[in-house]
């Protein structure tokens, strides 16, 4: 094999791109060879192409940690001629002289196009170079910090315990080697480099006009995912790497955590305090403190003597416990520590190159590390949770799974540590940590998720992880790790969560208030307000940080924080329907404004604290939340209502731009939220826990406007019965006339589940308040002086008409 000593030696690299030796048609793959390399292009679907490049005539393995065997084997009809592959939607062509790949859409617009020297091989590594369009913006790449738009940035994927990270820190905890480009001539496209080694992505940072991606080793396999919209790309990327499962409803509730809840009495006191302060909450989290000497799968016999009793006590308050279980098993030979003994007996731990078991310090002191790429090891790991599920623990938190190692500058295992691959479609072999590092955390969560599902087959499994890889959304929710109590981190949390959502990780959150440092009262309050509209809502802090529970800053701050937590609980039907649709489509729960309003891509609608929750709610915090200076909120064209008052917003059009602005003067106790005209938003009466059945009708807030629609979704909130049809899904639409909302049409409800509500309160917003509504020949009057009309539940297809005053 030819070797190039330095990647930058592009002149020499060009030599590799010698004239093609030929091209030939294979049944479903376009193969084009030039000296030393062969490019294969396969149509997985009409809009997803797999590109693999073999070097030295050695074909790569068709196996993946991210893509299921079914998707790997999936094929779309394609015609292959000399140098081109055509699907119903795309044409890919590979230049036989240069291996230059170009993909165009049905109308001939370039979606993705190689730059000069498109494939550069360097020792075991490689660099691929693509054209970066002048108008393109880049998103995705998992949890990476910095700006929302990756353009101009350069990033490395290498899962890292990044305690105290800043907006410029890279790499962070997760590796999602996937980006979405949007704004180019051919609309949007996605590119997923399915390579688990240390990979890098450079968006015009080193070289103007070039997107360069590469790895230090491993297969040259990537997927081109066509748009044209960002939504198309995200849906297709999650077709390829998997949808996040529907979480239990309680995972959408408010969650109270802290490193340092160090006794059962303290956990109970926190749960009781939440209830006595009337702060709706669903979960109290238990960090490493509950364990015996920080050993996974143990309970401290003195401070947590009866875990079952504890889960029962807080369970009676409608609160679940989620416990941390890190993957580092204490190295405790001869101490009757079952996970070590059984893991050692069955050879489940990772080895040094000399064949000895790798031992390194983490929380328990010297520790050993399960070989999660071995199916039998994952199965063994999964069975360890029995003690926790028997005790009634609700979910599991897998932390430190980059994996984090103490007392070493690399913060992780040496790259020559030996893992075994023994399944998942790969040929059985030993693999170095260099290859496994970035998937180690994901395989840890896979083992946990599968273990919980096996132990409680009727229940949904909830796992939270810090590290992961592309496709890890199938197993776990995630959070943004050890952030800081600063205004900058509040802003950062939003861009990180938005990019995580675009990268498949729709259930994401940041430690509310910041993990280290201790928030000022104002910061904690503002953080509560913003986080109440993010998917995973957990207040968490380090053991040496000041207390950061909602009540710590006195009644005035508590009242504001409670108000926002309550609002989240009122919005639960909307939030849960977003979660259900995420599980089906992959559409993130929390989205950048341009996801549903592409015309706002280049407008100032994507500033620091601006995002949407589903398509219908737009949250617009100040881009400088620490300041009381007035700021302009940017609203995509089409009409909006103020969520809090229900009144239509008069925004200032900006010339012929596709958006308008309104000026907002920030207040500590307020967060601007807007509702799209043409929305039907379900809300419910306040509860203190999602386990409580709301008392009263389901509210349907109707905001007149074009394409007026909404969706209702309900199920039992925790079991797998929904997968067998025990759900209720119902589309609703409205029509608008001169007198405001004219009618609401309910489609017939799908599924066998009977939802909790018996009546529906229609709350009609806009200039005209109806005086009554007629359904099934019967008129129902508006409650006097209100816009609310209560009608019976409507499981069948029916149209409700409104009568104007």
Nearer to ligand GLC, 505 or 640 (CB): 505
Cβ atoms < 10 Å from Cβ of 249: 21
Tokens 């008129």 -> residue: 779
Check residue 241 and give left, alpha or beta (phi > 0: left; psi -120 to 50: alpha).
alpha
Nearest distance, CB of residue 481 and ligand GLC, angstroms: 5
Q: Clarify whether 354 is annotated catalytic.
A: no
How far apart, in Å, are the Cα atoms of 227 and each of 42, 231, 446?
Answer: 18, 8, 30
For ligand GLC, what does the binding mask look like between residues 761 and 790, x meaning CB under 6 A? Answer: ------------------------------
For ligand GLC, what does the binding mask look like between residues 411 and 450, x meaning CB under 6 A? Answer: ----------------------------------------
Nearer to ligand GLC, 511 or 596 (CB): 511
Residues 41-100 that bind ligand GLC (CB under 6 A): none
Residue 398: Cβ-neighbour burial (10 angstroms; 0-12, 13-18, 19+): buried
Are residues 304 and 310 in contact, defined by beta-carbon separation less than 8 angstroms?
A: yes
Distance CA 521, CA 631 (A): 22
Nearest distance, CB of residue 290 and ligand GLC, angstroms: 11
Distance CA 156, CA 378 (A): 28
251: Cβ contacts below 8 Å, ≥ 6 apart: 282, 283, 395, 462, 477, 507, 536
Number of residues that bind ligand GLC (CB under 6 A): 10
Are residues 584 and 590 in contact, defined by beta-carbon separation less than 8 angstroms?
A: no
Cβ atoms < 10 Å from Cβ of 71: 18
Distance CA 25, CA 429 (A): 32
Across 665-726, where does the E strand assignment appear? 673-676, 679-683, 698-703, 709-715
Residues 491-520 that bind ligand GLC (CB under 6 A): 515
- Per annotation, catalytic residue among 113, 161, 402, 587: 402
Nearer to ligand GLC, 36 or 171 (CB): 171
Helix (H, G, I), strand (E, B) or coil at 172: coil
Nearest distance, CB of residue 643 and ligand GLC, angstroms: 32
How far apart, in Å, are the Cα atoms of 347 and each of 203, 357, 358, 385?
Answer: 43, 9, 12, 19
Distance CA 271, CA 248 (A): 20
Nearer to ligand GLC, 288 or 744 (CB): 288
Nearest distance, CB of residue 316 and ligand GLC, angstroms: 27
DSSP secondary structure letter of residue 346: T
Nearest distance, CB of residue 250 and ligand GLC, angstroms: 20
Q: What share of the chain is helix, strand, coil (3-state, %, to 5)?
A: 20, 30, 50
Nearer to ligand GLC, 516 or 801 (CB): 516
Say whether residue 325 binds ligand GLC (CB under 6 A): no
Nearer to ligand GLC, 187 or 394 (CB): 394
Nearer to ligand GLC, 113 or 287 (CB): 287
Check residue 766 and give left, alpha or beta (phi > 0: left; psi -120 to 50: alpha).
left
Nearest distance, CB of residue 400 and ligand GLC, angstroms: 6
Indicate the length of the chain as a whole number. Answer: 805
Say whether residue 143 binds ligand GLC (CB under 6 A): no
Nearest distance, CB of residue 315 and ligand GLC, angstroms: 23
From 213, 238, 221, 223, select the one nearest 189 (Cα to Cα): 223
For ligand GLC, what does the binding mask look like between residues 264 and 293, x meaning CB under 6 A? Answer: -----------------------xx-----
Q: Clarify whether 161 is annotated catalytic.
A: no
- Per annotation, catalytic residue among 113, 450, 482, 715: 482
Partner residues linked to 55 by β-bridges? 37, 58
Nearer to ligand GLC, 540 or 591 (CB): 540
Residues 457-476 that bind ligand GLC (CB under 6 A): 466
Nearer to ligand GLC, 67 or 531 (CB): 531
For ligand GLC, what does the binding mask look like between residues 239 and 268, x meaning CB under 6 A? Answer: --------------------x---------
Please report the DSSP string for 415-430 in residue order. Answer: TT-EEEE--TTSPPEE
Q: Name the residue whose CB lies closest to ligand GLC.
A: 259
Nearest distance, CB of residue 287 and ligand GLC, angstroms: 5
Nearest distance, CB of residue 310 and ligand GLC, angstroms: 19
The packing angle between helices 487-502 and 521-531, to 10°, is 20
Distance CA 171, CA 144 (A): 7
Helix (H) or strand (E) holding 345: helix 338-345
- Per annotation, catalytic residue among 122, 149, 399, 443: 399
Say whether residue 482 binds ligand GLC (CB under 6 A): yes
Nearest distance, CB of residue 240 and ligand GLC, angstroms: 29
467: Cβ contacts below 8 Å, ≥ 6 apart: 159, 173, 174, 401, 402, 403, 440, 441, 442, 444
Nearest distance, CB of residue 482 and ligand GLC, angstroms: 5
Nearer to ligand GLC, 42 or 486 (CB): 486
Q: Which tokens belong to 368? A: 């050993």
How far apart, in Å, are the Cα atoms of 197 and each of 123, 165, 724?
Answer: 14, 22, 39
Nearer to ligand GLC, 257 or 684 (CB): 257
By CB under 6 A, name the one of 149, 371, 399, 566 that touches ligand GLC.
399
Nearer to ligand GLC, 543 or 665 (CB): 543
By CB under 6 A, name the one of 176, 212, 324, 600 that touches ligand GLC.
324
Nearer to ligand GLC, 290 or 358 (CB): 290
Distance CA 401, CA 303 (A): 26
Distance CA 434, CA 216 (A): 9
Q: How far apart are the first and last CA of the chain?
A: 83
Distance CA 383, CA 452 (A): 8
Nearest distance, CB of residue 288 and ligand GLC, angstroms: 4
Distance CA 498, CA 590 (A): 6
Please report the DSSP string for 539-593 in residue order. Answer: E---TTSPP-STTTT-HHHHHHHHHHHHHHHHTHHHHHHHHHHHHHH---SEE-H
Q: Clarify whether 124 is annotated catalytic.
A: no
Tokens 């959502």 -> residue: 501
DSSP secondary structure letter of residue 486: S
By CB under 6 A, name the one of 228, 481, 513, 621 that touches ligand GLC.
481
User: Could you give the angle at the alpha carbon of 450 between the alpha carbons of 445 and 454, nearest 5°?
Assistant: 150
Nearest distance, CB of residue 407 and ligand GLC, angstroms: 15
- Measured in degrees and rounded to the nearest 5, phi and psi for residue 610 equal -110, 130
Q: List the catalytic residues.
A: 399, 402, 482
Contacts with ligand GLC, residue ranges (CB under 6 A): 259, 287-288, 324, 399, 466, 481-482, 515, 540
């Amino acid at each position: 094999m030819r070797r190039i000593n330095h990647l930058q030696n592009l002149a020499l690299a060009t030599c590799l791109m010698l004239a093609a030796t030929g091209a030939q048609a294979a049944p479903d793959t376009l193969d084009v060879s030039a000296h030393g390399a062969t490019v294969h292009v396969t149509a997985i679907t009409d809009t997803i192409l797999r590109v693999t490049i073999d070097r030295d005539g050695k074909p790569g393995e068709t196996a993946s940690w991210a893509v299921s065997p079914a998707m790997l084997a999936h094929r779309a009809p394609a015609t292959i001629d000399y140098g081109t592959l055509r699907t119903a939607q795309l044409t890919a062509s590979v230049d036989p002289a240069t291996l230059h790949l170009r993909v165009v859409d049905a109308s001939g617009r370039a979606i993705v196009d190689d730059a000069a020297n498109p494939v550069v091989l360097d020792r075991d590594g490689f660099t691929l170079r693509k054209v970066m369009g002048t108008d393109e913006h880049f998103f995705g790449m998992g949890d990476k910090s910095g700006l929302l738009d990756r353009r101009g940035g350069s990033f490395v994927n290498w899962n890292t315990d990044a305690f105290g990270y800043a907006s410029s820190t890279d790499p962070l905890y997760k590796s999602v080697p996937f980006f979405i480009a949007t704004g180019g001539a051919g609309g949007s496209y996605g590119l997923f480099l399915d390579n688990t080694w240390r990979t890098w992505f450079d968006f015009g940072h080193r070289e103007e006009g070039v997107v360069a991606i590469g790895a230090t080793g491993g297969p040259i396999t990537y997927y081109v995912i066509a748009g044209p919209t960002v939504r198309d790309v995200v849906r297709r990327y999650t077709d390829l790497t998997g949808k996040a499962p529907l979480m239990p409803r309680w995972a959408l509730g408010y969650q109270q955590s802290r490193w340092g809840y160090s006794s059962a009495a303290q956990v109970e006191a926190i749960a009781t305090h939440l209830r006595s302060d009337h702060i709706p909450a669903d979960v109290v989290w238990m960090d490493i403190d509950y364990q015996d000497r920080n050993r996974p799968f143990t309970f401290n016999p003195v401070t947590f003597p009866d875990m079952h009793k504890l889960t029962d006590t807080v369970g009676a308050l409608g609160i679940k416990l989620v416990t941390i279980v890190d993957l580092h098993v204490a190295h405790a030979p001869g101490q009757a520590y079952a996970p070590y003994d059984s893991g050692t007996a069955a050879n489940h731990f990772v080895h040094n190159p000399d064949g000895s078991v790798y031992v390194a310090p983490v929380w328990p002191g010297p520790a050993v590390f399960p070989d999660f790429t071995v199916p039998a090891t994952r199965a063994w790991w999964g069975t360890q949770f029995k003690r926790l599920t028997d005790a009634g623990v609700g979910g599991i938190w897998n932390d430190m799974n980059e994996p984090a190692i103490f007392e070493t500058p690399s913060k992780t295992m040496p790259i020559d540590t030996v893992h075994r691959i023994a399944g998942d479609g790969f040929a059985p072999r030993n693999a170095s940590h260099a290859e496994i590092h970035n998937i180690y955390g994901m395989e840890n969560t896979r083992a946990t998720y599968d273990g919980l599902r096996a132990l409680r087959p009727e229940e949904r499994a909830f796992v939270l992880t810090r590290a992961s890889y592309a496709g890890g959304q199938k197993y776990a929710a995630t959070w943004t790790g050890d952030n800081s109590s600063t205004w900058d981190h509040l802003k950062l949390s939003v861009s990180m969560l938005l990019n995580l959502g675009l990268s498949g990780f729709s259930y994401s959150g940041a430690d509310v208030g910041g993990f280290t440092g201790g928030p000022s009262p104002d910061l904690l309050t503002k953080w509560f307000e913003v986080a109440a509209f993010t998917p995973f809502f957990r207040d968490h802090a380090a053991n040496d940080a000041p207390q950061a529970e909602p009540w710590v800053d006195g009644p005035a701050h508590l009242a504001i924080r409670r108000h926002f937590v309550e609002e989240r609980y009122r919005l639960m039907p909307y939030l849960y329907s977003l979660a259900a649709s995420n599980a089906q489509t992959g559409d993130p729960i929390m989205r950048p404004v341009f996801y549903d309003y592409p015309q706002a891509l280049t407008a100032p609608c994507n500033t620091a604290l601006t995002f949407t929750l589903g398509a219908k709610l737009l949250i617009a915090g100040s881009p400088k939340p620490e300041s009381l200076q007035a700021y302009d909120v940017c609203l995509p064209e089409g009409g909006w209502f103020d969520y809090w008052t229900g009144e239509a917003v008069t925004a200032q059009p900006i010339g012929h731009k596709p958006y308008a602005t309104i000026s907002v003067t920030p207040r500590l106790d307020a967060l601007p939220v807007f509702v799209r005209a043409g929305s039907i938003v379900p809300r419910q009466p306040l509860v203190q826990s999602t386990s409580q059945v709301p008392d009263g009708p389901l509210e349907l807030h109707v905001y007149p406007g074009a394409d007026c629609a909404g969706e209702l979704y309900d199920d039992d909130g925790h079991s797998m019965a929904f997968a067998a049809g025990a759900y209720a899904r119902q589309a609703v639409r409205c029509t608008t006339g001169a007198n405001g909302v004219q009618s609401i049409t309910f489609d017939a409800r799908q599924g066998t589940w009977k939802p909790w509500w018996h009546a529906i309160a229609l709350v009609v917003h806009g200039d005209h308040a109806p005086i009554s509504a007629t359904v099934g020949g019967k008129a129902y009057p508006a409650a006097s002086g209100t816009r609310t009309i209560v009608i019976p539940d409507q499981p069948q297809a029916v149209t409700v008409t409104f009568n104007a005053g």
